[in-house]
């Protein structure tokens, strides 16, 4: 096998690894990273999330909210091998960082709790891993708080996984608390020690029987994909320990089982066994490179997992090297086809970047100042760019805020800050609305946008104020009229004269605006007609209700001119006057944008979604089971844009954080009555 490949039958992988820590919100991933770093000696003392002393969550935003808001990388050494762990945020709003990291990891550790409410989130995360073919362990954390048998917990969690959850450790109970565990593959029992390796003990009595039964269940599951093992079990032959380990490793790598380990991250319990399982059973960089279709050779090939803009070091591209070597000065082609020179290679420890030497295949490092590189890019040192390894699409945005610099003098800094913000987090998009000059950030939820605003202030030093973005209201007319627009000014010598008669009439919804020239006999000279149209268009930007006017036709049907005083300017003004005096008589009416919305949610929440949609003036079109998603539904509706504004907040709270939606503009609809009056009054007040 290759340099990082696994040998056949039991030879473990060597070489650098990259392992993602993922899992539902607040399950203990950052704490587990801390425990791993303490256990492997990378930190002196295990920090805690509550005290704000962990390597993960070191940014101001993460500390402030006591939750992970971006991926954290930390490289350590365990038994001579180099490991980079990536602590991913659990909240669905920050899922993008996990998505960008997953393709390049050898395996993921899914940290979870025995909590029924978090099963939908677990399912969501396992789905990402399943879709990307990532081998995965489950680390059942917080078992110091366990109140049910572990087998019941597995039953509870199993529906979230498409492959069997394979219990390979069982707890030893001491009254109501778990005091240790039995490793079913090693057939060894341990008692937990706080912040110290567990101690081996002798099993007897009831515990011994429970172990035998649980081990048999584990072997039975493994035997589903191993006929020889099945025969041994049927004939009551005890399979050799190596064979069991080989099977565990093979079935993990083939992603047909998900082994489950137990632990308490806060007390460093179960962490050593987790590390040993990763060491012996997880695939290495060789297999990962194969999965990604990396061309073997001497060229360096790397995938960019995350981009940071540091205050002092500039841009850092965290990348996993999947082939070759790269050091200071190496020229790499980036995703866009450009090239960049690596300016410094860094080892990562949370927010801390430490300069180091050349990186070898399999290592995860940060490359300094690769300006053209973006997260998701395939980097290569070859003459020809390497084919892109992955295409990572951010989830469509669901919530927006309008932002502006708190101080005018910072306006010029906003553009570059937005660029950095989006480079660090591709699931944020910034849109400039030319019509009302609003700058709107679109993102994945309330916290996501709050953190984006904090990051602008903290990391990029542009304090911003935020407000809800305006809704794209329009207005139209219901009644046709003819209206004269006359502009006449006589001041001293040269005067101004323009005179037009406009026929204004409604058009069907969605037609927009049409201008027609129906002048006969040259009563308005040809060369002034474009100016009349300009004046009309200008006046339509702001109708009698305060909004742009659409779906109407304006025809120039009559008028007069003056040989000396008429000008483009005068006819422009005449056109404008005709419209602003005419429209109020045309029965103006407000139009609001209606979108087609598709909500996805676990089926238990479907009834609640219907209620939420109806409560927000939505018209439900129907619901179906969600394709390829067991236990989920898709609810379709039409809904006013104004009501979609904060819809996600309600959807998330009704679905334990996992529901989401996509929306697309459908049509404009007339809005009358109280709601319309309030919108018009608010607009007048704002002017
Ligand atoms: N009792 C107990 N509490 C734990 C354990 N592990 C973590 N916690 C606590 O759970 C809370 C969340 O821990 P974190 O490590 O921040 O969880 P996380 O998964 O990183 O959270 P997010 O990144 O925000 O999804 C903290 O208060 C931890 O102290 C554990 O094994 N037992
Ligand atoms: Mg965390």
220 lines ligand 1 (CB under 6 A): no
Q: What is the pLDDT of residue 260?
A: 98
Q: Which residues contact 638 (CB under 8 A, 6 or more apart)?
A: 594, 595, 596, 597, 618, 619, 621, 666
* Nearest protein Cα to ligand 1, atom 26: 49
Interval 270-294 mean pLDDT? 95
pLDDT at 464 over 80: yes
Which of 227, 203, 229 is CA-nearest to residue 216? 229
Minimal CA–CA distance to 322: which of 354, 348, 290?
Answer: 290
Confidence of residue 16 (pLDDT cuts 50, 70, 90): very high
**DSSP state at residue 233:** H
The reply to whether ligand 1 has any atom less than 6 angstroms from the CB of 667 is no
Helices 119-131 and 150-157: crossing angle, nearest 10°?
60
Q: How many CB atoms lie within 10 A of CB 8?
A: 8
The alpha helices in 346-499, defined as continuous H runs, are 411-424, 446-458
- In the chain, the percentage of residues whose pLDDT exceeds 90 is 88
Q: Is 189 in the pocket of ligand 1 (CB under 6 A)?
A: no
pLDDT at 530 over 80: yes
What is the distance in A from the centroid of ligand 1 to the CA of 129? 21
Mean pLDDT (the chain, rounded) = 93
What does 368-410 look like in DSSP terms, one character per residue?
Answer: E--TT--TTPEEE-SSSPPPP----PPPPP-EEEEEEESSGGG
Convert the pLDDT of each residue in 626-643 to its tens digit.
Answer: 998 888 999 999 999 999
Which letter does DSSP use for residue 432 in this model? E
Check whether 492 has a pLDDT greater than 80: no
What confidence score (pLDDT) does residue 512 get? 95
User: Does residue 213 sit in helix, strand or coil?
Assistant: helix
pLDDT value of position 204: 83
What is the distance between the alpha carbons of residues 162 and 123, in angstroms, rounded to a whole number? 9
Question: Which residue's CA is minimally distant from atom 3 of ligand 1?
Answer: 142
Nearest-atom number in ligand 1 for the CA of 89 is: 23
Q: SS3 of 499, please? A: strand
How far, CA to CA in Å, does 19 sit from each of 24, 82, 108?
17, 11, 6
Query: Per-residue confidence at 687, pLDDT binned at 50, 70, 90?
Result: confident
**Minimal-distance CA residue to ligand 1 atom 7:** 28
CB distance 364 to ligand 1 below 6 Å:
no
Give the phi and the psi of residue 28 in degrees, each rounded to 5.
115, 25
Distance CA 7, CA 267 (A): 35
* Closest C-alpha to ligand 1, atom 30: 142
Would you say residue 6 has pLDDT above 60?
no
Tell me the three state secondary structure of residue 170: strand
Q: Running DSSP on this structure, what letter comes out for residue 327? A: -
> How many other C-beta atoms can be found within 10 angstroms of the C-beta atom of residue 79?
9
Whether the pLDDT of residue 1 is over 80: the answer is: no
The percent helix, strand, coil of the chain (3-state, each to 5) is 30, 30, 35
Going by alpha carbons, the residue nearest to atom 1 of ligand 1 is 142
Q: Of 566, 485, 569, which is closest to residue 522 (Cα–Cα)?
A: 566
- Mean predicted confidence (pLDDT) in 666-685: 95
* Mutation test residue for ligand 1: of 23, 25, 31, 85, the one with most atoms within 8 Å of CB: 31
- Specify the pLDDT at position 259: 97
Rounded CA gap, 271 and 186, in Å? Answer: 16
CA distance linking residue 198 with residue 269, whole number of Å:
7
Cβ proximity of 264 and 143 under 8 Å: yes
CB-based neighbours (< 5 A) of ligand 2, an ion = 29-30, 68
pLDDT tens track for 329-340:
999 998 777 899
116-158 pLDDT tens trace: 999 999 999 999 999 999 999 999 999 999 989 999 999 999 9
Euclidean distance between CA atoms 121 and 181, whole angstroms: 27
Pocket test for ligand 1, best of 21, 22, 27, 28 (most atoms within 8 A of CB): 28
From first CA to last CA, the distance across the chain in angstroms is 72
Instruction: Determine the pLDDT at residue 2.
Output: 37
Is the CB of residue 373 less than 8 Å from the CB of residue 339? no
Vertex 114, ends 111 and 117: CA angle to 5°? 100
Length of the chain: 687
The string over 480-491, giving b where at least 16 C-beta atoms fall within 10 Å of a residue's C-beta and e elsewhere, is eeebebbbeeee
- pLDDT value at position 3? 39
Q: Is 90 close to ligand 1, i.e. is its CB under 6 Å away?
A: yes
- What is the DSSP code (8-state) at residue 549? B
Nearest to 39 by CA among 239, 147, 194: 194
In this prediction, residue 11 carries a pLDDT of 57
Task: Answer yes or no: is pLDDT of 9 > 70.
Answer: no
Note the pLDDT tens digit of each residue in 349-407. Answer: 999 999 999 999 999 999 999 988 999 999 999 888 899 999 999 999 999 999 999 99
Tokens read off for 466: 């935020």
Closest residue to atom 21 of ligand 1, CA basis? 26
Whether residue 606 has its Cβ less than 6 Å from ligand 1: no
The verdict on the CB of residue 496 being under 6 Å from ligand 1 is: no
288-307 pLDDT per residue, tens: 999 999 987 889 999 999 99
**Do the Cβ atoms of 440 and 391 come closer than 8 Å?**
no
305's tokens: 């997992």
CB of 616 sitting under 6 A from ligand 1: no
> pLDDT exceeding 70 applies to what percent of the chain?
98
* Residues ≥6 apart with Cβ < 8 Å to 63: 52, 57
50 lines ligand 1 (CB under 6 A): yes
């Amino acid at each position: 096998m290759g340099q990082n490949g696994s040998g056949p039958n039991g030879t473990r992988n060597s070489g650098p690894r990259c392992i993602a820590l993922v899992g539902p919100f607040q399950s203990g991933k950052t704490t587990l990273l801390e425990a791993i770093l303490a256990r492997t000696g990378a930190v002196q003392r295990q920090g805690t999330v509550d005290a704000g002393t962990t390597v993960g969550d070191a940014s101001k935003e993460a500390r402030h909210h006591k939750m992970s808001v971006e991926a954290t990388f930390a490289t350590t050494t365990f038994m001579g091998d180099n490991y980079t762990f990536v602590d991913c945020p659990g909240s669905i709003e920050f899922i993008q960082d996990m998505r960008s990291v997953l393709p390049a990891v050898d395996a993921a550790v899914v940290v979870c709790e025995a909590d029924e409410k978090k099963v939908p989130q677990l399912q969501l995360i396992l789905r990402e891993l399943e879709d990307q073919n990532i081998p995965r362990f489950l680390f059942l954390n917080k078992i110091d708080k366990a109140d049910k048998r572990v087998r019941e917990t597995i039953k509870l969690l199993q529906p979230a996984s498409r492959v069997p959850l394979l219990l390979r450790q069982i707890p030893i109970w001491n009254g109501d608390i778990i005091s240790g565990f039995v490793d079913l593959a090693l057939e060894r029992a341990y008692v937990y020690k706080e912040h110290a390796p567990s101690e081996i003990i002798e099993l007897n009595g009831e515990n011994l029987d429970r172990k035998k039964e649980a081990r048999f269940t584990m072997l039975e599951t493994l035997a589903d994909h191993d006929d020889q093992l099945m025969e041994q079990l049927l004939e009551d032959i005890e399979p050799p320990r190596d064979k069991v380990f080989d099977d565990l490793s093979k079935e993990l790598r083939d992603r047909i089982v998900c082994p489950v380990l137990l632990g308490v991250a806060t007390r460093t319990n179960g962490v050593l066994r987790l590390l040993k399982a990763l060491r012996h059973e997880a695939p290495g960089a060789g297999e990962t490179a194969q999965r990604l279709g990396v061309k073997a050779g001497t060229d360096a090939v790397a995938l960019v997992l995350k981009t940071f803009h540091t205050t002092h070091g500039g841009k850092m591209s965290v990348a996993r090297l999947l082939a070759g070597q790269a050091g200071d000065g190496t020229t790499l082609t980036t995703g866009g086809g450009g090239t960049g020179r690596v300016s410094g290679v860094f080892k990562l420890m949370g927010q801390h970047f430490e300069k180091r030497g050349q990186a070898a295949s399999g290592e995860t490092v940060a490359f300094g100042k690769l300006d053209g590189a973006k997260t998701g890019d395939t980097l290569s040192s070859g003459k020809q760019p390497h084919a892109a390894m992955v295409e990572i699409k951010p989830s469509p945005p669901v919530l927006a805020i309008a932002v502006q610099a708190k101080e005018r003098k910072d306006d010029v800094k906003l553009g570059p800050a937005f660029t950095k913000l989006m480079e660090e987090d591709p699931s944020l998009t910034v849109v400039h609305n030319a019509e009302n000059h609003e700058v709107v950030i679109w993102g994945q939820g309330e916290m996501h946008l709050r953190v984006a605003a904090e990051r602008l202030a903290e990391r990029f030093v542009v304090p911003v104020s935020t407000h809800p973005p305006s809704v794209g209201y329009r207005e139209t007319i219901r009644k046709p009229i003819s209206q004269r627009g006359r502009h006449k000014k006589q001041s001293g010598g040269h005067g101004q004269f323009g005179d037009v008669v406009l026929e204004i009439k409604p058009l069907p919804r969605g037609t927009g605006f049409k201008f027609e020239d129906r002048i006969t006999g040259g009563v308005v000279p040809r060369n002034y007609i474009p100016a009349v149209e300009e004046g009309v268009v200008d006046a339509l930007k702001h109708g009698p209700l305060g909004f742009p006017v659409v779906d109407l036709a304006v025809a120039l049907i009559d008028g007069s001119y003056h040989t000396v005083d008429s000008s483009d300017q005068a006819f422009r003004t005449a056109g404008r006057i005709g419209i602003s005096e005419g429209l109020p008589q045309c029965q103006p009416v407000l139009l609001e944008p209606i979108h087609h919305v598709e909500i996805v949610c676990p089926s238990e929440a479907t009834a609640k979604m219907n209620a939420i949609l109806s409560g927000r003036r939505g018209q439900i079109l129907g619901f179906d089971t969600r394709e390829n998603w067991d236990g989920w539904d898709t609810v379709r509706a039409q809904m006013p844009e104004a009501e979609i504004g904060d819809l996600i907040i309600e959807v998330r709270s009704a679905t334990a954080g996992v529901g989401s939606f996509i929306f697309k503009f459908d049509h404009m609809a007339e809005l009358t009555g109280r709601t319309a009056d309030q919108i018009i009054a608010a607009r007048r007040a704002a002017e």
